[in-house]
Amino acid sequence: MDTGKGTIKILSIETSCDETAAAVTVNGREVLSNIIYSQIALHKDYGGVVPEIASRKHIEKINQVVDAALSESGYGLDDMDAIAVTYGPGLVGALLVGVSAAKAIAFAKDIPLIGVHHIEGHISANYIENKDLEPPFVCLVASGGHSHLVAVKDYGEYEVLGRTRDDAAGEAFDKVARAIGLGYPGGPKIDKAAKEGNPDAIDFPRAKVEGSEYDFSFSGLKSAVLNYLNQCEMKGMDVNVNDVAASFQKAVVDVLTDHSINAVNAYGLKKFAIAGGVASNSALRESLKKRCEKENIEFFCPSPVYCTDNAAMIGTAGYYEFIKGERSGYDLNAVPALKLGER
Amino acid sequence: MKIIALDSSGLVASVAIVEDDNLIAEYNVQYKKTHSQTILPMLDELKKMVELDLGTVDAVAISKGPGSFTGLRIGSATVKGLAQALDIPVIEVGTLEGLACNLYGSSSLICPLMDARRGQVYTGLYGFEKNDTGFKLVTHLSERAVSIEEIIDEAVIKGRETGQDVIFLGDGVPVFKNVIKEKMSGPYSFAPAHMNRQRAAAFAHLAMDYYKEGKAVSCFDHAPEYLRLSQAERERNEGKRNKGSAY
C-alpha cells in the first residue's frame, strides 16, 4: 500500500447534513486542511435544517470547499491517493451531492474511492488529536441526528451497545431551545444560558429504557420541559430561562454520563471517547471527564472543530478502510439510513 | 472539440461522447435504478469502450434544468467533479431546449413536457428556423412550470397563428396523454421512442454552439436551474404575504 512517498494522502468530502466540508489528511491522523462551509445561518429562520435548501447550497459550495482544502494542504488532486466520502446516514439529497462529486473526481483522476459511514467518521475524529488512541474503546456519539453508545472493537469494527429510542440528544437540545425562546442551533445556546442558571432548580426526569440499560430516550424529558413551561404559564409564574436550560442540560448530561460509564465498566475497556456535535457541550465534557477520573478511565474528546460535522474525520475513517483494502464502485449510492458496521 | 454530455434531469439517464459533429458513443437508460447508481458507471463503460483519454476532453455539458431536483443535482455534482478534476469548463444546456433538439429541423411546433408534480408540467414551445448553415432552435415560449391545460392553450393559439402542427415529447407525455387527447384541438402528434426522451447527444449539439458563443462557465459557477423555490421557502413567502395582507 506504500505509495513510494511513504504516506497516504486522502481528499475527503462530507455533505450529510448542513455543512459542506472537504479536507486533506495524511496517514489518517495528520490534518493538512479541514474546510467547513456552515449553512447554519440559512436554516435559522426555519428552526432547523431544511433538506432541499441544504442540498441546493451543497451544490453551490462543493467545488469551493474542495479547492480550498487542496490549496491549503499544499497539494493538488494528482497527489491524492484516494477520495473518501460520506455516503450515509444523513439527508439523502445532501449526501448525493458529495457522493456524486467524489465519484466524478475519483473517476476523472483514476484514484480509489472509499464510501465512509458518517458515525464512523465522528468516532474516528478522536484519532486526529490523540495519536496514541487505538481500539478497543467505548465511544459515545451524540449529535443532532444520532445518539449511540458504541464499542469500537477494531478499526472499522463496531458493536452498537445502545441508541436513542426517539429524539437524538442534539434534537432534544434544539427542540427545548425553541420552546424556551433561545432559537436555533439549540446546543450552543442552551450551553451558554445554562452557565447562568441553577442545574438543580427543576427536577426533570432521567429516563431509563426498560430492558436495555444503554439505550436512551429523550422525548419524555422534552415533554417534561414543555409541561413545566405550561404550568408556569397557567400559574402566571415567570420562567427563568437560564434555570430551565441548566436543569434540562443536567438531566441530559446525567443520563449520557451514567450510561456511558456503565458501558465502559461493563465491557472492561478502560478507554472512553466522545464524538459528535453534542460532544462540544461544556457540561457534558466536564461531567464525563470528572467521572472518568474518578473511575480511573482514560478519557478522550476531540476539539469542538472535530466534533461538528467535518471532512477531516471522514478522511481518518477512510484511511483505515483504505489500508484494509476497502473500495467503493462508481455505483456508490447515498444510503440515508445506513447502519454502523454495514457496507 | 470533444465534449462529454450528461443528462439525469428526468426518468432517463443519458451520457454521450461527441467530437464535433461525430457522435462517438451514447448510452441511454430508462430503468428503475437511481441516477446515482447509473450515470457514472455508464460514462465509465463508454470511456472503456471507446478508449477515451479524459485528458482530450474539452468540456462537459449538462442538462441544467428544469427537472427532478435530485436528478438535476446528481448530474450537476457529477459534471462539477469532472470539470474540477479535469480542469475544463461546464456548458449548461436547458433541459427543454435539449429535448426540443431531438427534432432538429422539424417544421412543427415542439412542445416538451416533463411532469413537475403539484399538477404542473415543466414546458415551453420551440421550433426550428432555417439559417445559412442549417437550422437554428428558436424559443416561442420560454421554460416554465404551468398546468397542462395552460400549455395546451398556448400551443393551440400558436399553432393557429402559424399554421403549424404540434409535436409533444418528454417523460410528461405518458402522464398527460389523456388530457392532451381530450383538450388539444388542431393537428398534433407524439414523438416516437427514439426521440421522445432526453438524449445527451442532443445536449452536446447545443453545447457546441454555446461553447463557440463563449457561454461556458467554470465548475464553481455552475448550479442547476430549478425554476422553483424549495417548498419551505415557498411556504415561508406565502406566510409572509398572508401576514402582509392582514394588516
Chain B closest CA to A220's CA: distance in Å?
28
> What is the assigned CATH class of domain B103-195?
alpha beta
Q: Which CATH superfamily is domain B2-95+198-230 in?
A: ATPase, nucleotide binding domain (3.30.420.40)
For residues A254 and A206, the answer to whether their CB atoms sit within 8 Å is yes
**A99 to B36: CB separation less than 8 angstroms, yes or no:** yes
DSSP character for A164?
A: B
Q: Pick from B1, B213, B3: which is nearest to B90 by CA?
A: B3
The pLDDT tens digits of the residues spanning B3-43 come to 999 999 999 999 999 999 999 999 999 999 999 999 999 99
CATH node for A135-303: 3.30.420.40
Give the position of cell 415560449: B141
Is B2-95+198-230's fold the same as B103-195's?
yes
The pLDDT tens digits of the residues spanning A220-232 come to 999 999 999 999 9
Indicate the pLDDT class of residue B242, thresholds 50, 70 and 90: low
pLDDT tops 90 at residue B240 = no
Among A103, A184, A335, the strongest candidate for a mutation testing the B interface, having the largest count of B CBs within 10 A, is A103
What three-state secondary structure class fits A193?
Answer: helix
CATH node for A9-125+307-323: 3.30.420.40
Indicate the pLDDT class of residue A169, thresholds 50, 70 and 90: very high
Quickly count: other Cβ atoms within 10 Å of residue A200's Cβ. Answer: 10
DSSP character for B32?
A: S
Contacts 24+ apart (CB under 8 A), B179-187: B179/B148, B179/B149, B179/B152, B180/B148, B180/B152, B183/B148, B183/B149, B183/B152, B184/B152, B184/B155, B184/B156, B185/B156, B186/B156, B186/B159, B186/B160, B187/B159
pLDDT tops 60 at residue A2 = no
CB < 8 Å to B82, chain A: 104-105, 107-108
pLDDT tops 90 at residue A210 = no
Please report the pLDDT score of residue A72 as a whole number: 98
**A55 to B70: CB separation less than 8 angstroms, yes or no:** yes
For residues B176 and B190, the answer to whether their CB atoms sit within 8 Å is no
For chain B, which residues make up each domain, given as ranges? 2-95+198-230, 103-195
The pTM for the full model equals 0.94
pLDDT tops 90 at residue A31 = yes
Q: In what order do the strands lie in the sheet with A137-142?
A: A157-163, A147-154, A137-142, A271-275, A298-300
Q: Which residue of chain A comes nearest to B4, CA vs CA? A: A108
Q: Which residue in the set A53, A66, A104 is minimally distant from B230, CB to CB?
A: A53
Give, in order, the Cα–Cα distances in Å from A296 to each of A102, A130, A212, A266: 43, 18, 25, 14
CB < 8 Å to A108, chain B: 54, 81-82, 85-86
ipTM surpasses cut 0.90: yes
Q: Which residue in the set A46, A50, A104 is minimally distant from B40, CB to CB?
A: A104
Report residue B82: phi and psi, to 5°.
Answer: -60, -50
CB < 8 Å to B86, chain A: 108
Q: Using beta carbons and an 8 Å cutoff, which residues of A are at the interface with B?
A: 45-46, 50, 52-53, 55-56, 59-60, 62-64, 66-67, 77, 92-93, 96-105, 107-109, 329-334
Give, in order, the Cα–Cα distances in Å from B199 to each of A310, B74, B110, B129: 38, 16, 16, 21
Q: Which residue of chain B comes nearest to A67, CA vs CA? A: B84
Dig out the grid coordinates for A317 from the structure.
475513517
Q: Which residue of chain B comes nearest to A49, CA vs CA? A: B232
Query: Can you name the residues that pair with A275 across neighbouring β-strands?
Result: A141
